[in-house]
Amino acid sequence: MTSNEAIDWADRLRDWLPDTPGDVLALGPGTGGLAPLAADRGHRVTEAPVGDADRLPLQGRRFDAVLAHDVLGTLPDPEAALRRWRGLLRPGGRLVLVEGAPGTASPAGLPMSRLVAALTPLVVRLHSERLPGDARYALVGVVPDAPVRHTEVVDVHLILRRGDEVLLARRARTGYGDGLLHLPSGHVEDGEDVRAAVIREAREELGLDLAPADLRMEAVVQHRGPGEAPRVGWFFSAEHGAGGDPVNAEPDKCAELVWHPLSALPHDMVAYCRAGLAAWRAGERFIVHWQSDEEAVAYEGERTTAPESLAPVRTGGVHHVELWVPDLEAAEVSWGWLLGELGHVPFQRWGHGRSWRRDEAYVVLEQSPDLRPGGHDRHRPGLNHLAFHVAGRAVLDRLVAAAPDHGWALLFADRHPHAGGEGRYAAYLEDAWGYEVELVAE
């Protein structure tokens, strides 16, 4: 940099940087000449290596200005970098960007219009100017003097179940997580509640006509993706068949719809989505999933942040119920069907046992090596039966009609559905080994 160039840049920095000396973070190869000029004006300058421009290990430090020269065009996601840099500024701070348009002397040019669009929602004032000589331009964005009230995007996710399987959609041409599997999902729009939003998204993406009664709220997840602002996701479930058969109603955004077992979810998923499903299967309702900037949008196994429960353990609640059965394989067919219909999801699987979970409690079937001879007799001291809630008479009638095909027989048929009394609409079923369940309509 010649002396005349230094004088010219010093004049420009006087206008771009804060009037009073402050803390300035200098990024990019071009700041090697600008950082000393900023220091000459009394600013305390921190220079970061070029390779660290989008992954800055600054441990909570804040600055009065971020000065970046010929760096954004070298990064894979300039918009995400700008959001991260915005988070490094104190109230009233400034983002000072010097870049070149494509095809100029800049190492990797960016159109000014792209950065203007990215900066506009991040700042309260934005100044732009063309720089003479090499077709570069400068943008100076000023953030508010006082902290802005925090807001978060609210999105909704549909867990559409078919037995122990869940429907996933492979994203395509959306700009986020393309090529990865995700639950059918979308953002809540102005004037919508979360239930109306998931019904709309199910119609737009899957061609389903769901009713509010078809939905069950399963989990709320506050999520922060790498380099992203936090958001809150509401996860709802519905049974396959409710609202029709799902179809790919948005082929421009979805490459395929696939069913996958909940107990063996694929790895090529969006980490946020997989975290919500994992938390739901574990019976968690309120979760934080906070990824670092170094992580990926895609699920990466143990390298991906695990969801963290916010719900305390409820002392005194039922943890689980365990039934010892003489034939695990056959019991899995009958009990797996019934528990799945009642909203339980496969939870654990080992050589001698299986379990299904709903909320915080789960049911275990085990064919233990320590099982003694003799069958179960509900008339003897011990367990008589298990009772489950059912969402209404229509659902109960459907389950009773289908039960014989899955190894269940109706007890007290002459008094059904009021075997428990005239004011109680319920069904009593017995499996092949004499275990009884009671289904009570709400």
* pLDDT single digits (tens) 207-246: 999 999 999 999 999 999 987 889 999 999 999 999 999 9
pLDDT for the residue 58: 65
pLDDT for the residue 316: 85
* pLDDT single digits (tens) 165-184: 999 999 999 888 999 999 99
Phi-psi region of 370 (alpha: psi -120 to 50; beta: other; left: phi over 0): alpha
What torsion, rounded to 10 degrees, do the Cα atoms 401, 405, 407, 410 define?
Answer: 20
Of 177-181, 426-430, 438-442, which gets the smallest average pLDDT?
438-442
Q: Which domains does the chain have, with CATH numbers?
A: 3-142 (3.40.50.150), 153-309 (3.90.79.10), 320-441 (3.10.180.10)
* pLDDT single digits (tens) 394-426: 989 999 999 999 999 999 999 999 999 988 999
- Cα 74 to Cα 70, 78, 81, 317, 420, distances in angstroms: 8, 8, 11, 55, 72
Averaged over 191-208, what is the pLDDT?
97
The two three-digit tokens of residue 245, written as one number: 């058969």
H or E segment and range at residue 157: strand 153-162
Contact 357, 347 (CB under 8 A): yes
Average pLDDT, the chain: 89
**Cis ω on the peptide bond leading into residue 417 (within 30° of 0)?**
yes
pLDDT for the residue 290: 94
CB atoms within 10 A of CB 272: 27
Contact 177, 298 (CB under 8 A): yes
pLDDT for the residue 10: 86
Q: pTM of the entire structure?
A: 0.62
Contact 293, 227 (CB under 8 A): yes
Of 30-44, 185-199, 347-361, 363-377, which gets the smallest average pLDDT?
30-44
111 pLDDT tier (thresholds 50, 70, 90): confident
* pLDDT single digits (tens) 319-369: 999 999 999 999 999 999 999 989 888 889 999 999 999 888 899 999 999
- Cα 44 to Cα 64, 86, 95, 226, distances in angstroms: 10, 18, 16, 29
